[in-house]
Amino acid sequence: MDKLPSGATKFGAVVLAAGGSARMGAPKQLLNVRGESLVAHAVAAVAGAGIHPIAVVVGAHSEMVEGQVDRRVAQVVVNPDWATGMASSIRAGVAALVSGFPGLGAILVTPCDQPALSAGAVRRLMGSLGGADQIVASRYNGRLGSPALFGSGFFEALLALSGDQGARALLNAPSSLVIPIDLPELGLDLDTPKDLEVWKAAKGSE
């Protein structure tokens, strides 16, 4: 295995915030989560884990969404092909990081619509990566999903993704390459008004 020395791995992150939010009926990237927009919350969680650089990929509602990004901690990447599916946004973000920051050892790919995303959850993923040829994936609701951390051996595969399935095919790679981390709190993402109601109800019971 191409080992990544402890403490020496350089991490980058791609925050996916380009979707059209058709099922929500309004730009979900702008939903208020504990006093900040959902996209700002995601960036803060990733930055709070110590990751830099961060690329926030925008597409639909791009001007409104990028206005929520703190340019001191993240760059904005505009994906004009966002409507073709999530893969195009992953490609855009990964390409920006790989070209702008040579030497990255791993890239975190995360959606912006998980209200329970936290720096602690991101650090758990980071601390579990053992090599450039590994993926560390969140596990919730009985499956593997995002956020997921991809060692540099997967960068070319990320840049070759197509369609609307994102990196799901990579997460279904041989089990020896994928390390699952149980993060049940990430099982809720905000796709519909009902999801938002469920989250608000759970938040109120905390």
Paired tokens of 204: 């109120």
pLDDT at 201: 83
Give the span between the Cα atoms of 160 and 183, in whole angstroms: 28
Q: For residue range 35-53, list pLDDT tens digits in order.
A: 899 999 999 999 999 999 9
Per the document, the length of the chain is 206
Q: What pTM was computed for the model?
A: 0.91
Q: How confident is the model at residue 8 (pLDDT cuts 50, 70, 90)?
A: low
* pLDDT score for 151: 96
Superfamily of domain 11-163+173-204: Spore Coat Polysaccharide Biosynthesis Protein SpsA; Chain A (3.90.550.10)
Percent of the chain exceeding pLDDT 70 equals: 95
